[in-house]
Structure 1
Amino acid sequence: MATNVVSRPNSQEQVLLGVACILFATAGMSLTDALIKYFSANITVWQVFVLRSAFALPCLYLIARWKGNALMPVSLFWTLMRSTFQVAGWLCFYVSLPLMSLSVAAVVVYTTPILTAIFAALIFKEEITSRQWVGVALGFAGVVVILRPWTGDVNWAVLMPFVSAIFYTVTVLVTRQKCRDERATTLTIWSQMTFITFGLAGATIVALLDFDQTLVAGYSFLLNSWPSLSAHEWGVLVAMGLTASVLFIAAARAYQIAPPQIIGTMDNSYLVWAALWSILLFDEIPDSLTLSGMALIFVAGGLSATRPLGGKSAITRR
């Protein structure tokens, strides 16, 4: 999900271009997440963090230089805090992918707008509209439907993307309250450096702990340190890094040239793409109850993230 919101007059052509940009961005981002799930048996989350960001950084640096953006943030402390929460959110999300359907993990993460509305009201005393309260109620109803606690057979792996959503919510609030004056490119560069730092630290810690190999075999995506990569896997990670900057630009551009209410709603197309990749790559077809819960969260996210025309739109996940 994108993070830039800029209000300006919009022509019909700009709106259409903005919609095309956000659809392209969500398609690419969801495919990246699907490929990480697809290769999760052969790579580790630490390698994804380090290698993808290492190849993305040079592209982002060139973009920053071309646009004349400063590399040092206005507030280094809050930029680092934002990046830390963001990376923690991605870690929880990625770790959940080998354990559950991509489409279900994605829709649970998209409770972020709902949590943002609640946290903003509790912490910063922002007003929650009646429309947003409806969204909050529908969102949590959707999570309950997906968890199905009444069956006694709860898939607790669903809690990982929910924790991820909490971290993303804190990222959103820090961005909104403490990083208003930062350039989006600058924030992204520091996020990528934080990914590399966490990736190297995680791989080192896992190697030093020397887990039992039976346990590693069951959770290799998290507990393996740095396995050898095939040429195919190297190519995928390099492609992810190089395309990450393009997807970032597309998402940022969408929010710059089209109304945030429209782009914020179209941002939810990530869920549609995630469901599509789940079917095509993993033959994962949700049952009717799961689909019902996903639909509730989808509608709830739209209600919670947007305000009536003329109001401010919530900053979203990516």
Structure 2
Amino acid sequence: MPRIEGFEAYRMAMPRGRRPESIVVRVTGDDGLSGWGEVAGSDMCWADIEDRVGPALLGLEWELPEEVGGVGGLGGSAAASATDIACWDLWCRRQGSPLSHSLGGTRTSIMAGARLSAEPTLDVLLTRVNRLVGGGYTRVTLAVHPGWDVEPVRAVRHAFPAIALQADAGEAYTESPEHLKALEALDAYGLLAIERPFPGGDLPAYARLQRQIGTAVCLDPADLETVDTAIAMNAGRMLGLRIARLGGLTAARGAHDRALAAGWDTWCGGADGFGIGQAAAVALASLPGCDLPSDVTETPTATAVVTPPVAITGGVVAVPLTQPGLGHAIDETRVARLARQSLRIPA
């Protein structure tokens, strides 16, 4: 049975201290092949990789990437999401299969969506949306919060009547009459969804809101149990699939499959990074249920550790299908150069 013989982790930072910070991991099998993964970095995540995840993987025997998360309770954490991606990449390289195909993807390209934070003025917001529309983006997600919700959504909808709009509430609302009035008012502007309206995944509140509005309520689930419960409660009609939040590609694919079977829409969220995380997000977004534009960001050429960099052309991202695994070569020299901390097991 194949066995993991080596584990490496690199804490990466953009030059001159700019964000983002990521943790890149590499797992090496007893056949000498390697797989790579990435997750947004934090002190807690690095400590989890150093103290628990890395040592648990060394010497692990496994047949399928779906098996790895069950070892020592590794599944479900941000740290485990990076190793889950790496094991999928390694397994696909062994099989000579693109990651997209191995996950069950059916697309050769995906549409990219973009997110905007709350802007200081409506004029600034409209200028930024106009720039995105000119760049070919077909969906824009606006950050909203109490006091900055109906007015910006109305302004963007009037200025860009054809664009697909989504509102990300960032868990900032309650079921107070004032907050519910604002959320219900957004229903008039043809939104794809209102994302994360309430704190803490309060599924009963999600269900009550979904009964009151025609716009889909979108969840940001952290585990498959939440997905199952939300579907059973009709607590929305859309899932945002974030690989790190769900603990890896295995769980994210499981959430997609449940949503597809229930008739819910899905899209994939891809965080900023050095290219490996974006490549994994592109593969996930190629799944048949991800009909909506997904949040996949470009990899800056100057700091990308993947070749070619993940690129968006006219709002479209190609799904790499000519190489096995992630579909990108990894620049190990650049990984080492950008790393400000590293770990190797065995040393």
How high is the TM-score relative to the length of structure 2? 0.25
Q: Which has the larger radius of gyration?
A: 2
More helix by share: 1
Structure with higher RCO (Cα < 8 A, 6+ apart): 1
More strand by share: 2
